[in-house]
């Protein structure tokens, strides 16, 4: 395709070569060249972006994969979007397969909803649309003032199960916590397999963290005070003592597996695999209950810190993730990690948006709970 006449450009906002692999695969599928730009870090760690070709009146797609240095990647995206905006690009569409800070989408005590802040920053920088994949919470789409297409990786992971796992009919889909049961149920129903749920975590789950709404009311010392003095000289009755019902503390039950995994292949599904401690603990429980092989399936393989070493030393047999996040270094450290390419659906989304075609085809058979 002649990119000069296509009416759109595809740029990568990453300064790291490892992070541009997904962008290259997408442009190869589209039959276009990657836009000419330079993204680099100054000696003082400031990010600089130079766009090397005209984008006036063009629709621009910025592909940004998120490496371990999350904050640098965000600044690269914001600065490139603003550079394109000031260069008179017609539309600026961010392709962000893994949306950063997506776990910080709820109020935590005296914290903040960082995901909402990031959505506002992207809009201010000039983005008019984003394409992402498997948001941690689908409600995050409501944080944006422009359209969001939240694609699904499950068709690719389900295809991997059917083609790469021998005797997958003897498998059972496992949710590592009750909060992950809906996602696991979706996989189980599509594969016509059984469902098991691990109940009772050894540590507090994300949903159990304090959000500050249970703080006790301020207690005032009212000794010697008979009431409020009003301008007319009359007194208002004293405030009665505040007697609020006390919320009982949660107590985690002993870890149990709801469902029979004995003599079967256990497939744990989730959206993000980062700190693998919960997955390793779940694998040990499943082994004790008789599962003879354990797979982990997740869309985003962040695999931070010592994750590769912990996986290699654990009862987990295979970890399957997509290439929404670069993880080549982790694969070298742990041969159990396998990758599924999702560039096909991202390229098709770009093509359909540019041509003004319906996106419904990419969401066929996708329900509200998926």
Considering the domain architecture, whether residues 259 and 336 belong to the same structural domain is answered as yes
Considering the domain architecture, whether residues 62 and 20 belong to the same structural domain is answered as yes
The 3-state DSSP class for residue 306 equals coil
In 3D space, the residue among 183, 190, 152 whose CA is nearest the CA of residue 168 turns out to be 190
Enumerate residues 6+ apart whose C-beta is below 8 A from 288. Answer: none
Give the angle subtended at the CA of 359 by the CAs of 159 and 127, to the nearest 5°: 110
How far apart, in whole angstroms, are the C-alpha atoms of residue 130 and residue 94? 5
For 80, other C-beta atoms within 10 Å of its C-beta total 28
Taken as a whole, the chain contains a residue count of 370
Considering the domain architecture, whether residues 162 and 24 belong to the same structural domain is answered as no
Residue 316 lies in a domain: yes
Considering the domain architecture, whether residues 260 and 333 belong to the same structural domain is answered as yes
With contact defined as beta carbons under 8 Å apart, do 295 and 318 qualify? Answer: yes
**pLDDT for 241:** 66
The 3-state DSSP class for residue 55 equals coil
How far apart, in whole angstroms, are the C-alpha atoms of residue 89 and residue 83? 9
In the chain, beta strands by DSSP E: 8-12, 37-41, 47-51, 59-63, 91-96, 129-133, 148-151, 171-175, 194-199, 228-229, 235-236, 256-258, 265-273, 293-301, 318-322, 337-340
Residue 220 lies in a domain: no
Q: Give residue 185's domain range.
A: 155-202+254-340
Considering the domain architecture, whether residues 175 and 324 belong to the same structural domain is answered as yes
Residue 17 lies in a domain: yes
Provide Rg for the chain, Cα atoms: 25
**pLDDT for 189:** 95
Residue 239 lies in a domain: no
Considering the domain architecture, whether residues 15 and 140 belong to the same structural domain is answered as yes
**pLDDT for 239:** 57
**pLDDT for 208:** 52
Considering the domain architecture, whether residues 38 and 120 belong to the same structural domain is answered as yes
Residue spans of the chain under pLDDT 50 = 1-4, 203-204, 213-217, 219-228
Number of domains comprising the chain: 2
Considering the domain architecture, whether residues 35 and 72 belong to the same structural domain is answered as yes
**pLDDT for 358:** 93
**pLDDT for 367:** 80
Considering the domain architecture, whether residues 120 and 60 belong to the same structural domain is answered as yes
Backbone angles phi, psi at 259, to 5 degrees: 130, 150
Cα 101 to Cα 47, 70, 137, 287, 302, distances in angstroms = 20, 9, 11, 33, 12
Residue 73 lies in a domain: yes
**pLDDT for 263:** 96
How far apart, in whole angstroms, are the C-alpha atoms of residue 160 and residue 340? 8
**pLDDT for 219:** 47
Considering the domain architecture, whether residues 146 and 191 belong to the same structural domain is answered as no
How far apart, in whole angstroms, are the C-alpha atoms of residue 286 and residue 261? 7
**pLDDT for 1:** 43
**pLDDT for 338:** 97
Residue 263 lies in a domain: yes
Token pair recorded at residue 72: 């640098």
- Side-chain-side CA neighbours of 145 within 13 Å: the count stands at 11
**pLDDT for 142:** 92
How far apart, in whole angstroms, are the C-alpha atoms of residue 220 and residue 250? 29
Q: Per the confidence metrics, is the pTM higher than 0.75?
A: yes
Considering the domain architecture, whether residues 102 and 192 belong to the same structural domain is answered as no
Residue 315 lies in a domain: yes
How far apart, in whole angstroms, are the C-alpha atoms of residue 60 and residue 123? 15
Q: Which residues pair with 323 in a beta bridge?
A: 300
Residue 237 lies in a domain: no
Considering the domain architecture, whether residues 60 and 197 belong to the same structural domain is answered as no
Residue 282 sits in a domain of what CATH number? 3.40.50.2020
| β-strand pairing of 194-199 with 256-258 | antiparallel
């Amino acid at each position: 395709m002649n990119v000069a006449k296509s009416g759109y450009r595809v740029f990568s906002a990453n300064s790291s070569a490892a992070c541009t692999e997904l962008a290259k695969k997408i442009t190869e599928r589209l039959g276009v060249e990657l836009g000419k730009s330079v993204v680099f870090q100054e000696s003082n760690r400031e990010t600089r972006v130079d766009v090397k070709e005209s984008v006036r009146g063009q629709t621009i797609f910025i592909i940004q994969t998120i490496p371990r240095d999350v904050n640098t990647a965000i600044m690269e995206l914001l600065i490139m979007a603003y550079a394109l905006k000031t260069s008179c690009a017609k539309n600026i569409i961010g392709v962000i397969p893994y949306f950063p800070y997506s776990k910080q989408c709820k109020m935590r005590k005296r914290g903040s909803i960082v995901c909402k802040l990031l959505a506002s920053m992207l809009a201010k920088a000039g983005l008019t649309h984003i394409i992402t994949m498997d948001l941690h919470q689908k409600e995050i789409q409501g944080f944006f003032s422009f359209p969001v297409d939240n694609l699904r990786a499950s068709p690719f992971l389900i295809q991997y199960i059917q083609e790469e796992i021998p005797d997958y009919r003897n498998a059972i889909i496992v949710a590592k916590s009750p909060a992950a049961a809906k996602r696991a149920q979706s996989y189980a129903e599509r594969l016509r397999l059984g469902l098991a749920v691990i109940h009772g975590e050894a540590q507090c789950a994300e949903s159990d963290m304090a959000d500050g709404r249970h703080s006790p009311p301020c207690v005032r010392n009212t000794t010697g005070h008979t009431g409020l003095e009003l301008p007319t000289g009359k007194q208002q009755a004293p405030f009665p003592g505040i007697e609020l019902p006390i919320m009982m503390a949660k107590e985690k039950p002993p870890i149990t597996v709801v469902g029979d995994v004995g003599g079967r292949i256990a497939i744990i599904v989730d959206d993000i695999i980062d700190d693998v401690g919960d997955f390793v603990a779940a694998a040990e429980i499943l082994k004790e209950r008789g599962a003879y092989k354990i797979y982990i399936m997740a869309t985003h393989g962040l695999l931070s810190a010592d994750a590769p070493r912990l996986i290699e030393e654990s009862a987990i047999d295979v970890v399957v993730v997509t290439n929404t996040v670069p993880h080549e270094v982790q694969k070298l450290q742990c041969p159990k990690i396998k990758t599924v390419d999702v560039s096909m659906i991202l390229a098709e989304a770009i093509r359909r948006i540019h041509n003004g075609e319906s996106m419904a085809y990419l969401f066929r058979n996708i329900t509200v709970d998926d």
